[in-house]
Structure 1
Amino acid sequence: MPAHDLYLGGARRSKFTTITIYHVARRFENELNQQRFLKKVDSILNPRLGGKGMDWEYFIQESPRELWKINGIVPPPSGSEMEKLWFKENKPVVEGDVKANL
């Protein structure tokens, strides 16, 4: 987007960015976890963007795990043996393929 198309408070602003964070693998269990995550994001963004004289905003989008797929596969339940296998392989694994390779 051209810098002349960015507005902040109704005024043109060339040093501005919007960041979207997709948080889909897990849900925040409580407000304490949410605040901890926000604090970590701030600790990363504030020095990098603020140090450049930029303004920014960010938005964290949480999605129900049931509406999430990787390569067309619904991820296994949290903590399951299949999830551990996905982690070990560092990729989605089709359950039938696991049985065929045993």
Structure 2
Amino acid sequence: MPLWNIRTAKNVYTADDKKAFADSITSFYLDVVGLPKFYTSVVFHEFDPENFFLGGEPTDDFVLIEVVHVARNMDELSEKLGTTMTEDDLYSLMRESFAGIIRPFVDDRGLRWETAVVEGLFKSWMIDGMTPPPPFSDAEKTWARQNKPSPYDTASA
């Protein structure tokens, strides 16, 4: 599960902007990280400027993005990719990738922005009451093909 919580003042993004932003995020996790498409959630939280403060001042030009990662962690990705990159290198690559996703939706609009990533525990995660299959497993590939969760044999996954 990557979950992107995008917090902005009201009317920063149109419905079409939000769809394009969510599509860009989802494509990254599908094409680059290899996650089933339905694992990715994007939620836009909009506030009146008088309810959104930055440095103690109300703001209407700031985008705060919190990303929660549970489906993959850096150790798994490093091992799967067979890379000798350090953890710091992987986080740097992630930040660069996220900036590439975000910049088209902030730079030309004169918006300031910030991101923070929180990594959760895979073993604490459930979808529709089921523990998701192990990363990169055949069961996860089945979920990806079906684009939804389905029962699987946990003993052989």
Out of 130, 133, 136, which is 1:73 matched to?
130
Aligned length: 96
Question: Aligned in 2, Cα 1:44/1:95: closer, same or farther, shift over 3 Å?
Answer: closer
Task: Give the aligned residue type for 2:127.
Answer: I
1:50-84 per-residue CA deviation (whole Å, 9 max, x = no partner) reads 22111121221211110111111001112322222
Select the residue among 17, 21, 26 that pairs with 2:63: 17
Name the TM-score, length of structure 2 as normaliser: 0.54
SS at match of 1:51: helix
Q: Residue 89 of structure 2 aligns to which amino acid in structure 1?
A: L
Partner of 2:50: 4
Unaligned runs of 5+ in 2: 1-46, 76-86
Hey, what does 1:51 align to over in structure 2? 108
Distance change in 2, residues 1:79/1:14 (3 Å): closer
TM-score, normalised by the number of residues in structure 1:
0.79
Matched, 1:83 2:140: yes
Letter in 2 for 1:62: E
Q: Identity, % of aligned pairs? A: 29
CA RMSD of aligned residues (A): 1.8
In the superposition, relative to structure 1, how do residues 84 and 47 fare at CA in structure 2: closer, same or farther (>3 Å)? closer
Alignment counterpart, residue 27 of structure 1, candidates 65, 73, 79: 73
| Residue deviations 1:31-51 (CA, integer Å, cap 9, x gap) | 222211110111222242122
Give the Cα separation in 2 of the matches to 1:13 and 1:88: 42
Give the Cα separation in 2 of the matches to 1:73 and 1:2. 38
In structure 1, the partner of 2:97 is 40
Amino acid at match of 1:24: V
